[in-house]
Structure 1
């Protein structure tokens, strides 16, 4: 008993450490080859298993980008493949001046480099080559400005004239941001003192709008002061990139001269002994030193009677204006109050109707569930908990299910039952068990969940035969999944939820050993930003 508690304590501690460390790891920049031909970053947002559906979808997507069957002349590819936890979203971008064949060759080699270096099989990664970029993720990435990770790659040649370079990059950034949904690319050169030239190009992924493209490039331009130590170089981001050099590095067909406006020199101070410039037309010259100023104009102030009349008129206007402002403010406040109150009543009605509609759509017929579980036979029993037994079943369409049959004297009343149904029905996360429906008939109360084949975590921790399956990689995946599920419940779901009964027997494992948190009968809702709560009953194990 003591050893099991210690093991559970260390698993919980690992979950907390993982939550604290993960954000810091994700901020590190990527790695590059020795000649900086390729730079990459593998992000720890999740891990796939080699040969699984995610891996298969990833290979298919990356291969399609570099395939000769994929034809476009603008060098931008974005696509998605798969569903739910196996969905892969990918983007590929080639430099706007290279040919389609060169683009395919670059993407083909970049995909190989990326998969060879992300050896822990991360579900999110990016690779930059000099002529192209490719990235993939299990999260949505289309149309979103992404400025991290960032990679600075200095070159070997001197290429700095800060005033001209900054102006050149700013002009090219405006041109690129104004591009269409197929290409946001601009290149050109400017001449510095002595006849030398600086060449530069900037580019955004064209799924960004003008403002996001401009923001990404401005942030990159602001970093050239610290990027490359007076040399040419590249600033690489997922959503945009730029490069500048002392020599031509892109196709000459994309080159153009960019006129940089000359800075306006300050006006020189007048030399001693010279006369000041004549005053502009319509202005009065200042009196010379030693001369008397011109006489003041005659005072044309109004008579006392007229002044008093004007003062009274002014006071009347001020009083009327103040009264109008107060009236409008009070009237607007009353209207606003009634409008907010009316909207609140409507929202409450909508929420109530939504709950009723949700409950109706999830309700199953009792005979259907009894038939699916072979009349709740002992052969189909998966286990028994504090509130009743759990049975395996199969619906008429062949879908496997897990049915939680609450015992009649379990102590879980209608309130706890409805709490679990309405709560779990609103939760959608890959590390939470999915509720398919429920059934109410007389004293029978059933919860229908997705079937998770590998039972619960405690069968692997405490069973000597199954314990050998918990190698470090599997433990790490389980810990990460539990942490993501708890983070979703506490921070990211539309309701803040405290589980109250998190233990090894309530962590289910699917066929890929991905964890799913189950059993929300004791869960409690908290309002957003609430950090403390009180209970009158003992909860949890």
Structure 2
């Protein structure tokens, strides 16, 4: 029996609606996602673990604890596994949130990181790092606490630069970040290993600055990490008159920008004005796929 085209369309109409609804749900969830990993590195040269192994269970325990701890702590580190475990099964893990964030923001970022880390590192390496704008998550099968580490290195510079600035950005950025490093690592500093600054004008633009190290570092280690990061940031971004630049490492981070990005309202700092919603490329790609698959599906029914 041969069915008419209209009958075929009526048969597939419920399936078409379900297809559209499913893709719409996916696209909407992407649009409402708050936290996006900027960089990750999965180091399988240190070995791999298998699903449901002791290392896997220890890592899951660490991640579960971090989800709870991040509701009230901006930094935590844990060692999971003890004398009864083989040394190859011990997990050393930490997270570090940007010090200007609320506990709510920190918790949201850490929760996202713990949920997605093993999807990003899908080969299950025994060492990995995931870096967000708001937080950083690390785990390893070696001691990583109180060790200053400069690699891996995530650097990002503005696509826009100020032409013919006569080296003002390079000099101004270096001068301001250098003073912030001294402030963050000073023995008299009330906020150890962290400092922010605004109200500094370079080339007739107001700039904002932030430096931070993980709290487990000594002041000397923090200064060494940030000084190296400063040279890298100036060379990569500021020397080319880029209007913003940032560097994030396992042990420290720094950023300068012409837009307010930190959220500190004490010590005379002006709280940043809310930025307009930013829609990343990922949701736009998801929506584009929705319409593409919808077109192909409808065309196949004709």
Given the two structures, how large is their TM-score scaled by the length of structure 1? Answer: 0.38
Match of residue 113 from structure 1: 116
| 1:237 is the counterpart of 2:236 | no
Residues of 2 paired with 1:101 and 1:178: CA distance? 29
Residues 349-388 of structure 1: pairs in structure 2 closer than 5 A: none
Residues of 2 paired with 1:189 and 1:46: CA distance? 44
- Number of residue pairs matched? 221
Match of residue 438 from structure 1: none
| 1:123 is the counterpart of 2:126 | yes
**Aligned match of 1:205 in 186, 195, 214?**
214
Residues of 2 paired with 1:47 and 1:76: CA distance? 26
- Report if the CA contact (8 A) 2:55-2:89 is conserved: yes
Larger Rg: 1
Secondary structure of the corresponding residue to residue 61 of structure 2: helix
- Report if the CA contact (8 A) 2:43-2:127 is conserved: yes
Residues 385-534 of structure 1: pairs in structure 2 closer than 5 A: none
| 1:64 is the counterpart of 2:65 | yes
- Report if the CA contact (8 A) 2:129-2:139 is conserved: yes
Match of residue 81 from structure 2: 82
Residues of 2 paired with 1:136 and 1:120: CA distance? 14
Residues of 2 paired with 1:183 and 1:194: CA distance? 31
Q: Which has the higher helix share?
A: 2
- Report if the CA contact (8 A) 1:38-1:110 is conserved: no
Match of residue 41 from structure 1: 41
Secondary structure of the corresponding residue to residue 47 of structure 1: coil
Residues of 1 paired with 2:41 and 2:93: CA distance? 15
Secondary structure of the corresponding residue to residue 164 of structure 1: helix
Q: CA deviation at 1:177?
A: 1.9
Residues of 2 paired with 1:78 and 1:250: CA distance? 24
- Gap change, CA 1:254 and 1:61, over 3 Å in 2: farther
- Report if the CA contact (8 A) 1:188-1:254 is conserved: no
Residues of 1 paired with 2:132 and 2:267: CA distance? 21
Match of residue 174 from structure 1: 182
- Gap change, CA 1:94 and 1:146, over 3 Å in 2: same
- Report if the CA contact (8 A) 2:185-2:192 is conserved: no
**Aligned match of 1:227 in 236, 239, 243?**
236
- Report if the CA contact (8 A) 1:189-1:255 is conserved: no
- Gap change, CA 1:195 and 1:182, over 3 Å in 2: closer
Residues of 1 paired with 2:133 and 2:71: CA distance? 21
Q: CA deviation at 1:191?
A: 2.6
Residues of 2 paired with 1:230 and 1:223: CA distance? 14
Match of residue 184 from structure 1: 193
- Gap change, CA 1:193 and 1:249, over 3 Å in 2: closer
Secondary structure of the corresponding residue to residue 139 of structure 1: coil
Secondary structure of the corresponding residue to residue 123 of structure 1: coil
Secondary structure of the corresponding residue to residue 222 of structure 1: helix
Secondary structure of the corresponding residue to residue 161 of structure 1: helix
Q: CA deviation at 1:140?
A: 0.5
- Gap change, CA 1:119 and 1:81, over 3 Å in 2: same
Task: State which drifts further: 129-138 or 113-122.
Answer: 113-122
Instruction: State the Cα deviation string for residues 198-242 of structure 1 (Å, max 9, x = none).
Output: 111010001111111000000000012332343212111100011
Secondary structure of the corresponding residue to residue 201 of structure 1: strand
- Report if the CA contact (8 A) 1:202-1:242 is conserved: yes
Residues of 1 paired with 2:70 and 2:109: CA distance? 14
Q: CA deviation at 1:72?
A: 3.4
- Report if the CA contact (8 A) 1:187-1:256 is conserved: no
Q: CA deviation at 1:108?
A: 0.9
Residues 262-277 of structure 1: pairs in structure 2 closer than 5 A: none
Q: CA deviation at 1:56?
A: 0.8
Residues of 2 paired with 1:216 and 1:194: CA distance? 28
- Gap change, CA 1:91 and 1:168, over 3 Å in 2: same
Q: CA deviation at 1:192?
A: 2.7
